[in-house]
């Protein structure tokens, strides 16, 4: 069968189709070339180290500028090396095992150790993707240096470890809560002392509703007020009681602070430490009870009981002091000094005596002329000694005795003695045993006995 020749129109049509196909081929080649250029430019300009290596030989086939800058090798040096050359020797077996398991697609290989040209070891996070490169099965690798990040994370972990250790030593229980946007508190961590303090494990406590479950019902409002302050970005330290697993009451001191998130404009965390202060509270109660007994006893005494610092400023007096000296509680609040209660002409002597006592001297009873708030003068005898804090004297403690009545009695006695001495009548005074204790001059004239001869004798000798 003879073929027919194409017509002129058909030839023209074929030529046009050929030229169109050739044009499309050239455009495709051009687009491919442009794509390769863009790909190469992107590969070269990425700020993280990148390279392409031959999966079979492990040789570097291409590296970008960031790899050259970061690792310190020139491009020529890189292209003469394999990826084993930038690994510590002990890591190479793991590398080979990883390469054997390379599969098509994206691979996040994790963190590896690499060695720079200056022999410094760095940590890098590797992300890779397989591809055909120059007719070779290859893998393109992106390496992100995470050395500083890991050091920071390690430092943070170490800091947290130290913080928890210090918390264990300086407090009984440390904690951190995350504050959710809707206000829920989520416990992130606690120190191991929680169980020792409360008797509950963290899991047990969470199942019971958290820390608030432990708080004594009468102290719930204290904890709630603290939480409101913290959520308002204010630090607050409070004391409250908890009921432990074995049903004992324990006093806690809760030191808490909020962590403000500027981006979210709210408190996102609450951190703190709780200290068991039960023994301190028990000591405080015992001291308070002792002080109350001391004050009750001091108030029952007819004398004035006082304490002062080394300068004479009063720090405690019993209620009799206010009655005797005429001062009020308002005067006390302003501050009173023992020297104000002594007449001016005796104050220098009082200062000297205070210094002697503070130096450890014992003076016994010292007489002064006291001065009432209204200006009235009256005699007193002061018995005082220093008291210590550790081995350091910090003040005086003692008694003030009003000698007004005694002085009056002494004056009356002197007056009566003078009257008896001047009497012309014979006067003999004996004690309860009938022994002579006093005879006047008239007795000596009348009997002829001297006072020395009869004192202590029975009148029957006369």
- Residue 57 burial (CB count, 10 A): 12
> How many Å apart are CA 345 and CA 54, to the nearest integer?
108
| Residue 158 and residue 277 in one domain | yes
| Residue 139 and residue 159 in one domain | no
Are 150 and 123 spatial neighbours (Cβ–Cβ below 8 Å)? yes
For residue 306, the enclosing domain spans 301-406
Structural domain count of the chain: 4
Residue 23 lies in a domain: no
| Residue 158 and residue 273 in one domain | yes
| Residue 159 and residue 268 in one domain | yes
Residue 17 lies in a domain: no
Mean pLDDT over 410-427 rounds to 80
> How many Å apart are CA 110 and CA 126, to the nearest integer?
6
Are 312 and 337 spatial neighbours (Cβ–Cβ below 8 Å)? yes
| Residue 266 and residue 338 in one domain | no
Q: How confident is the model at residue 411 (pLDDT cuts 50, 70, 90)?
A: confident
Torsion angle of C-alpha atoms 108, 109, 112, 118, degrees rounded to 10: -70
Q: How far is CA 43 from CA 64, 82, 142, 300, 321, in A?
A: 6, 19, 10, 96, 94
Mean pLDDT over 181-207 rounds to 85
Q: Identify the pLDDT of residue 317.
A: 93
At which of 119, 145, 171 does a domain end?
Answer: 145
| Residue 141 and residue 177 in one domain | no
Are 308 and 314 spatial neighbours (Cβ–Cβ below 8 Å)? yes
Which contiguous run of DSSP H or E holds residue 280? helix 278-300
pLDDT digits (tens, 9 = 90+) for 134-156: 888 999 899 999 998 888 888 77
449: Cα within 13 Å, side-chain hemisphere: 18
Q: How confident is the model at residue 19 (pLDDT cuts 50, 70, 90)?
A: low
Mean pLDDT over 13-26 rounds to 64
pLDDT score of 36 more than 60: no
Q: Which range has the worst mean pLDDT, 248-257, 345-354, 435-444?
A: 435-444
Q: Identify the pLDDT of residue 164.
A: 61
Among residues 126, 134, 107, the alpha carbon closest in space to that of 50 is found at 126
Residue 288 lies in a domain: no
pLDDT score of 59 more than 50: yes
pLDDT score of 3 more than 60: no
Q: Which range has the worst mean pLDDT, 55-59, 113-117, 160-164, 177-181?
A: 160-164
Q: How far is CA 86 from the centre of its chain?
A: 48
pLDDT score of 1 more than 50: no
Are 211 and 258 spatial neighbours (Cβ–Cβ below 8 Å)? no
pLDDT digits (tens, 9 = 90+) for 325-336: 999 989 999 999
Residue 412 lies in a domain: no
Residue 276 lies in a domain: yes
Q: Identify the pLDDT of residue 165.
A: 60
Of these ranges, 82-91, 283-292, 295-304, the one predicted with the greatest mean pLDDT is 82-91
Tokens of 383: 């018995």
- What percent of the chain is modeled with pLDDT above 70? 87
Mean pLDDT over 233-249 rounds to 94
Residue 416 lies in a domain: no
Q: What is the CA radius of gyration of the chain?
A: 50
Q: How confident is the model at residue 27 (pLDDT cuts 50, 70, 90)?
A: low
| Residue 399 and residue 446 in one domain | no
Q: Identify the pLDDT of residue 456.
A: 85
pLDDT score of 109 more than 60: yes
Q: Identify the pLDDT of residue 213.
A: 92
At which of 118, 145, 172 does a domain end?
Answer: 145
3-state DSSP assignment of residue 235: coil
> Which runs of E-coded beta strand occur in 208-322?
236-243, 249-261, 266-276, 304-309, 314-317
pLDDT score of 366 more than 80: yes
Q: Identify the pLDDT of residue 375.
A: 93
| Residue 157 and residue 141 in one domain | no
At which of 230, 249, 281 does a domain end?
Answer: 281
pLDDT digits (tens, 9 = 90+) for 290-311: 888 888 888 888 889 999 998 8
| Residue 239 and residue 141 in one domain | no
Mean pLDDT over 95-124 rounds to 91
3-state DSSP assignment of residue 247: coil
Q: Identify the pLDDT of residue 339.
A: 93
CATH code of the domain in which 336 resides: 3.30.450.20
Residue 227 or residue 299, greater confidence: 227
Query: Does the global pTM surpass 0.85?
Result: no
The beta-carbon contacts of 42-49 under 8 Å, at least 24 apart in sequence, are: 43/140, 46/142, 48/142, 48/143, 48/144, 49/124, 49/142, 49/143, 49/145
Q: Which range has the worst mean pLDDT, 39-53, 106-120, 229-243, 401-415?
A: 39-53
| Residue 173 and residue 248 in one domain | yes
- Residue 139 burial (CB count, 10 A): 21
Residue 421 or residue 337, greater confidence: 337
Q: Identify the pLDDT of residue 168.
A: 53
> How many Å apart are CA 255 and CA 276, to the nearest integer?
11
Residue 78 lies in a domain: yes
Residue 429 lies in a domain: yes
Average pLDDT, the chain: 86
| Residue 253 and residue 366 in one domain | no
- What percent of the chain is modeled with pLDDT above 90? 46
| Residue 222 and residue 310 in one domain | no
């Amino acid at each position: 069968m003879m073929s027919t020749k194409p017509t002129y129109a058909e030839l023209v049509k074929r030529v046009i189709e050929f030229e169109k196909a050739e044009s499309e081929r050239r455009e495709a080649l051009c687009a491919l070339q442009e794509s390769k250029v863009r790909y190469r430019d992107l590969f070269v300009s990425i700020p993280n180290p990148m390279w392409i290596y031959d999966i079979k030989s492990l040789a570097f086939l291409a590296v970008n500028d960031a790899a050259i800058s970061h690792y310190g090798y020139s491009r020529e040096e890189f292209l003469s090396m394999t990826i084993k050359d930038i690994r510590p020797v002990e890591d190479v077996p793991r590398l080979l095992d990883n390469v054997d398991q390379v599969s098509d697609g994206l691979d996040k290989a994790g963190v590896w150790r690499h060695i720079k040209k200056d022999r410094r070891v760095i940590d890098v996070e590797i992300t890779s993707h397989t591809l055909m490169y120059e007719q070779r099965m290859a893998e393109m690798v992106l390496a992100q240096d995470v050395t500083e990040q890991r050091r920071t994370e390690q430092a943070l972990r170490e800091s947290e470890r130290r913080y928890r250790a210090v918390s264990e030593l300086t407090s009984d229980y440390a904690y951190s809560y995350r504050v959710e946007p809707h206000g829920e508190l989520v416990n992130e961590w606690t120190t191991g002392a929680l169980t020792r303090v409360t008797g509950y494990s963290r899991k047990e406590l969470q199942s019971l509703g958290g820390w608030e479950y432990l708080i004594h019902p009468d102290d719930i409002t204290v904890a709630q007020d603290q939480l409101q302050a913290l959520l308002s970005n204010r630090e607050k330290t409070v004391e409250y009681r908890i009921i432990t697993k074995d049903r004992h009451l324990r006093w806690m001191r809760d030191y808490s602070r909020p962590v403000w998130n500027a981006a979210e404009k709210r408190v996102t965390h609450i951190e703190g430490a709780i200290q068991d202060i039960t023994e301190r509270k028990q000591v405080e109660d015992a001291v308070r009870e002792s002080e109350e007994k001391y004050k009750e006893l001091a108030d029952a005494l007819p004398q004035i009981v006082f304490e002062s610092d080394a300068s004479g400023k009063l720090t405690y007096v019993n209620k009799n002091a206010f009655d005797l000296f005429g001062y009020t509680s308002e005067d006390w609040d302003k501050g009173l000094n023992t020297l104000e209660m002594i007449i001016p002409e005796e104050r220098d002597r009082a200062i000297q005596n205070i210094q002697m006592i503070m130096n450890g001297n014992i003076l016994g009873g010292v007489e002064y002329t006291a001065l009432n708030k209204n200006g009235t003068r009256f005699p007193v005898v002061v018995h005082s000694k220093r008291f210590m804090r550790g081995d350091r004297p910090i003040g005086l403690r003692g008694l003030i005795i009003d000698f007004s009545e005694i002085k009056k009695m002494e004056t009356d006695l002197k007056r009566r003695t003078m009257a008896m001495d001047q009497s012309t009548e014979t006067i003999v005074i004996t004690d309860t045993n009938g022994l002579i204790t006093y005879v006047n001059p008239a007795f000596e004239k009348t009997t002829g006995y001297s006072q020395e001869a009869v004192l202590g004798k029975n009148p029957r000798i006369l």
